[in-house]
Structure 1
Amino acid sequence: MWGMGAVGWLVSVAVALGVLVAAALVARRIARTGARAHARAQEELAEMGRALVELDDAVDALDRELALSGALYRGQQPASLRRARLAAHHTRDDAFAAYRRAADPARTPAERRAEARATRARVAGAIANAGSARAENDAWVARHAPAADQLRVARERIDAAAATMGDPRALRAELARIADESEWEGAAAADEESLGALADAERAYTAAELADPEALRAHLIEVETSLERAGRAARLLEETHRLVENAYLAIEDEQRAAASAIRAAAGTQKTVTGERAPRVSEAIRVASVALDSAMRAADRRPVTANERIARLRARLDDALADLRTEQQQMRAARSALPGTLSAARSALARSEAYVRGAEIDARVALDQARRHLALARQSANAIEALTAARAAVSDAQTAASLARDRARRR
């Protein structure tokens, strides 16, 4: 028989072992979820972000190479280039989604690190594959494409770009005539940017004419890079002009739809009792004031007016969300969807003007905005489409804000 002293000793040992096990478990949990674990996860995320920016830029380089090679081969680009571009696009799009998962604070640091590491490995493979495909294409061109053919194609592309652009200064002047600069500030310098890039393409072409055969390809890539910049600036100007004109055409319909939504909300308010009644009344009052404010701005700021109407309708929907029948919600969503889609398109266009060349957080937000806008366009359910369109507006505004903030800090 064990004596009482021995039993007490065993109990003490068991308690001590239990304390040690508990302490070890706590220490392990701290190691996996503590500050240092979070810091390591952030380091992995930052590395993944840098790799993803490199891949995003590599995709642009592949697009340029394909455009140049397509012209040189009369539309028959090398299969290796097409495959590399397709793979790079898929990997980049998947990596943007993976970045959002790896940045999710609700996941454990270990999960975030594992996601970031695995994605970074796939991104590195896509970058290497893109580089190999470009090098293979450069070598083929050097062996099989005479310099005269390459120069002829470059000349044709410069001339075609100039003809397509038309007179960007005239388009900017038209924007200044019909709307305040705040409506098109992202494209304010696009006319000079497009013309300057076209002049850069001409200078690169002149250098290519004088270059040794070994340096010819580099100059022609510079031509293509400049033409891409010129085209991007010209498209931004044209898209901005189109958005402003469409906003003018849509503003009266959006005003009527918003006024109808406010009247419908006032009808719903009559059925509300208790503590909710004052809140619903205030939401209707705020919506009415916001609509009046939007319409006062509409003459010179139609895009802003439409965006304000989209926001006031979103706030009104939130205030009435659990007071409407499903049929009423669907009817309200169908009414709000066209204006919100327009607001999403304008927010995305403005965001793209700021985000090019930005860091990873802005690029990820822009990618999310594009995904939400695509979902809004494809969905057959008006409520789901409206939710996605509103998310696209928010994501695009976040992307532009991040890009502007980083640019100011540089």
Structure 2
Amino acid sequence: MAELSTAIVGWLVPALVVFGVTAIAVAVLVWAVRRARRSPRARAAAEQTRAKAGATLVRLDDEVGELDLEVALSGALYGGDAPSSLRRARLTAQHVRDDAFEDYRAISDPAVAPAEVRRVSARIDKRAGEALATVAAARREHGAWVTAHVSAAGQIDATRRRLAELRASMGDPAALVAELSSRFAEEEWHTASRSAHAALSQVAVAERHLDAAAARAADASLSALPDLAAAERALRQAEADARNLEETHRLVLQAAQAAPGEIAAARAALRQASVTREHLAAPEAERLGGELRAIEQELTGIETDAARRPTRTVDAIARLRSRLDLALGDARTAQQRLRSARTALPGTLAAARGALAQTEASVSRAHAGADARSRLLSAQRELAQARQAEDPVAALDAARRAMRDAEDARALADYAHLSPGH
């Protein structure tokens, strides 16, 4: 029996040693592989793949914007007779773009493994490239139809009509800017002034190109298409600048009307918070009291210049309301949270709309990259969700997320605009 036990031990110990060494080797190999996959070199390679996918995605986003205008133009000029390929391509490109931006933002988190970044980036690049090919094919089909059915003179006349309509709808941009400058600080209207100047400048550019296109169309040996295309681009930019002017003008006037009510609502929220503080334990009450005094001091400072800086006032109050909610934490009842959300929501929605309008202009002006655009799309979705939500607390949370995403997008766009070589 003793001999059997000795034999078993003599066999078992070497086996355990072999298995143990093998297990350790496997563990070390797995660790080494994982470390290599997350090494700085692997992460740098993954970032290059993500940047390539982002560049393709930016091209697709630009194409979607162009298609939106072209589809509207086609419907206006040709009464729906043109091929439907542009509309189908636009829907496809929009769907692919939106899904791709969701994926792109997900892999922008540094915690995502490089292998996953490479896999998702490759998928984004492939799908966006296919959508771009679909758009290019639709454009060729549409261009061939226009060439066969519409003369250069007809296109010139149609573009002149659109230019006249734009002039009529714009009215006097200088008058809108003058109205704002007479009542508000420069920071409130400088965006409107820049949009007004840009719109008028692009209208003049469009007119020059249309005149040149008309002269070329009269000569059979010359092509009017280059000047016609340049006129169309200038006209589209003028339309975008005119919309920015009108939106800025509207937001400033709405903020001026809303600011007194927002200040009153903020003071009421502070009074309610003081009542809540009375029911807290001494340490919590002292902490909350200090924060309430700081918030009230900031609110008083904001109020002194509210009439001259209404959009800044509405934005600052929205941030103070968020700070107040954070300070109160779980000290309020559900009914108090609901009441506070209802009073904070209008101003926060206005602040989010203002932040989004400024961000859209920054992203467009800077020709921002995929990171800024993904944040912008997220802000747009959050703002839409805030408007649709029936629960005021959920709507307020979504509006605040929209503000944060818009601010992030604008910071990224401004950085890109200031970067060397931009």
Tell me the TM-score range normalised by the shorter chain.
over 0.9
Question: In structure 1, what is the equivalent of residue 149 of structure 2?
Answer: 144
Between 157-166 and 254-263, report the one with greater CA deviation: 157-166
Between 371-380 and 352-361, report the one with greater CA deviation: 352-361
1:65 and 2:75 are equivalent in the alignment: no
TM-score normalized by structure 1?
0.95
Relative to 1, partners in 2 of residues 1:61 and 1:211: Cα closer, same or farther, differing over 3 Å?
Answer: farther
Question: In structure 1, what is the equivalent of residue 192 of structure 2?
Answer: 187
Between 205-214 and 151-160, report the one with greater CA deviation: 205-214
Identity score, percent: 43
How far residue 7 of structure 1 moved from its aligned partner, in angstroms, is 5.6
Question: In structure 1, what is the equivalent of residue 415 of structure 2?
Answer: 405
Secondary structure, counterpart of 1:189 in structure 2:
helix
Contact 2:82 2:142 in 1 (8 A): no
Secondary structure, counterpart of 2:330 in structure 1:
helix
How far residue 155 of structure 1 moved from its aligned partner, in angstroms, is 1.4
Between 6-15 and 253-262, report the one with greater CA deviation: 6-15
Letter in 2 for 1:384: A
Give 2:260's match in structure 1, choosing from 249, 252, 266.
252
Give 1:301's match in structure 2, choosing from 306, 309, 321.
309
Contact 1:307 1:340 in 2 (8 A): yes
Question: In structure 1, what is the equivalent of residue 172 of structure 2?
Answer: 167
Question: In structure 2, what is the equivalent of residue 341 of structure 1?
Answer: 349
How far residue 333 of structure 1 moved from its aligned partner, in angstroms, is 0.3
> How many pairs are equivalent?
410
Contact 2:379 2:406 in 1 (8 A): yes
Letter in 2 for 1:240: T
How far residue 278 of structure 1 moved from its aligned partner, in angstroms, is 2.0
Contact 2:199 2:237 in 1 (8 A): yes
- Deviation digits for residues 312-350 of structure 1, max 9, x if unmatched? 010000111211111111111011000100111111111
Give the distance between the partners of 1:297 and 1:77, measured in 2 at CA: 55
- Deviation digits for residues 5-32 of structure 1, max 9, x if unmatched? 7665444433322221111111121133
How far residue 197 of structure 1 moved from its aligned partner, in angstroms, is 0.4
Contact 1:297 1:304 in 2 (8 A): no
Letter in 1 for 2:216: A
Question: In structure 2, what is the equivalent of residue 289 of structure 1?
Answer: 297
Relative to 1, partners in 2 of residues 1:77 and 1:366: Cα closer, same or farther, differing over 3 Å?
Answer: farther
Secondary structure, counterpart of 1:104 in structure 2:
coil
Between 324-333 and 103-112, report the one with greater CA deviation: 103-112
Letter in 2 for 1:211: R
Give the distance between the partners of 1:337 and 1:258, measured in 2 at CA: 11
Give the distance between the partners of 1:254 and 1:3, measured in 2 at CA: 85
- The root-mean-square deviation of aligned C-alpha atoms, in Å, is 1.9
Which runs of 5 or more structure 1 residues have no equivalent in the other structure? Answer: none
Letter in 2 for 1:155: R
1:270 and 2:278 are equivalent in the alignment: yes
Between 221-230 and 329-338, report the one with greater CA deviation: 221-230
Relative to 1, partners in 2 of residues 1:91 and 1:184: Cα closer, same or farther, differing over 3 Å?
Answer: farther
1:225 and 2:230 are equivalent in the alignment: no
Question: In structure 2, what is the equivalent of residue 86 of structure 1?
Answer: 91
Question: In structure 1, what is the equivalent of residue 40 of structure 2?
Answer: 35
TM-score normalized by structure 2?
0.92
How far residue 34 of structure 1 moved from its aligned partner, in angstroms, is 2.9
Give the distance between the partners of 1:204 and 1:68, measured in 2 at CA: 18
Letter in 2 for 1:73: Y
Give the distance between the partners of 1:331 and 1:368, measured in 2 at CA: 27
Between 100-109 and 309-318, report the one with greater CA deviation: 100-109
Letter in 2 for 1:380: E
Give 1:352's match in structure 2, choosing from 351, 360, 379.
360
Secondary structure, counterpart of 2:203 in structure 1:
helix
Give the distance between the partners of 1:42 and 1:195, measured in 2 at CA: 42
Write out the 4+ residue segments of structure 1 that deviate beyond 6 Å after TM superposition.
3-6
Which runs of 5 or more structure 2 residues have no equivalent in the other structure? Answer: none
